[in-house]
Structure 1
Amino acid sequence: MFKMTHHACVRGVVIDKGKVLVVEHSHSNRPPFWCFPGGHVEENETLVEAVKRELKEETHLDVDVGQIVFVQEFVKEHLIELFFECFIVDGEARLGSDPDNPGMPILTRMKWVEPEELLELPVYPKALSQILFEDHRNFPKIGFQALYEKEEIQKDK
């Protein structure tokens, strides 16, 4: 039996007309900050399904999900966060909600920012903001595929 060691979060990096979409979070226990829209992967949900659902909830956008562009691990929280390049399919971006966090509005603002603004605002993760600032058209991509069954190892004949 496998033991669960990490929880997964997904985030969408949406770039349209040279601007990057970010949402502001306000929590009672820390100052407001900006990040890329997304959240936790739900039980029985694929990573791609989670990205699409989270973007719809938080921004009202329907997206196609591309490659992974960044990965970060929160060691103490046993959380891995995967950032996917996303392409708008339908909808107009407007602030949604974060149903995972009941109570006061957690998402307080949403905006399209120029890549250089990512460095001026408290946008996290800072490392991804720096990458997007340096070249938002050609940022590195990590190959991704979803397998529903393990690939069989071919035996030499």
Structure 2
Amino acid sequence: MEKIRLRAAALIIEEQSILLVEFRNEQDDGVHYNLPAGGVEPGETLVEAAIREAREEASVDIDVGPVAFVYEYQPAKNNYIYGDVHSVGITFACRLKDGSVPRLPDRPDPAQTGVKWVPLSELSSVQLYPEIADDILNYCNGHDYRNYVEEHEIQSEKAGND
């Protein structure tokens, strides 16, 4: 039976900027960004995981709101580009609690290099994983958007744009 990894993410927008976690790329000198996110631990709910991951990766306390996105990576449909674990990520619209200031945690992941507010106007110019920048912008601007995104759809769009 195939195992599925559940992930929770926090979409935090303030003053037309999005809070992102910066990581060093393994294959080159560049960086990529993720929303504060990670796997759900045994005995933990998705909301509890989003709160924990925001604290662990961005040193912030958050209030968790409604689901904004569901993202699914199915390895066989994507030629195993991100490994062999089927994963489903739930992204919640979140707000920082009063007085909570994002910063690099005391013990970050070895590949983590920063925590940054990226203006929404610049979101398309950074490497975001998963590659849902357009979906986030549509969501923030009140436009129709995909609230369920499959990785193979992203890869098909990229192939069509190349």
**Bigger-Rg structure (1/2):** 1
- Alignment equivalent of 1:6, drawn from 4, 17, 30: 4
1:6-155 equivalences under 5 Å are: 6-29=4-27, 32-76=31-75, 77-90=85-98, 91-96=100-105, 105-127=110-132, 129-138=133-142
CA distance in 1, matches of 2:104, 2:56: 9
Partner-residue secondary structure (3-state), 2:120: coil
CA–CA separation in structure 1 for the residues paired with 2:112 and 2:129: 15
Any stretches of 5+ residues in structure 2 without a counterpart? 76-84, 148-162
Give 1:138 shift: 3.1
For 1:94, give the aligned amino acid: R
Q: What is the CA-CA distance between 1:74 and the residue it aligns to?
A: 1.3
Residue identity over aligned pairs, in percent, reads 30
Q: CA deviation at 1:95?
A: 1.5
Where is the helix percentage greater, Structure 1 or Structure 2?
2
Tell me how far 1:35 sits from its aligned partner. 1.2
Secondary structure, counterpart of 2:53 in structure 1: helix
Return 5+ residue gaps in structure 1 as ranges. 143-157
CA displacement at 1:73 relative to structure 2:
1.2
For 1:55 and 1:66, the matched residues in 2 are separated by 14
SS of the residue corresponding to residue 48 of structure 1 reads helix
Size of the aligned set, in residue pairs, is: 135
SS across alignment from 1:20: strand
Once the two structures are TM-superposed, the CA of residue 131 in structure 1 deviates from its matched residue by 2.3
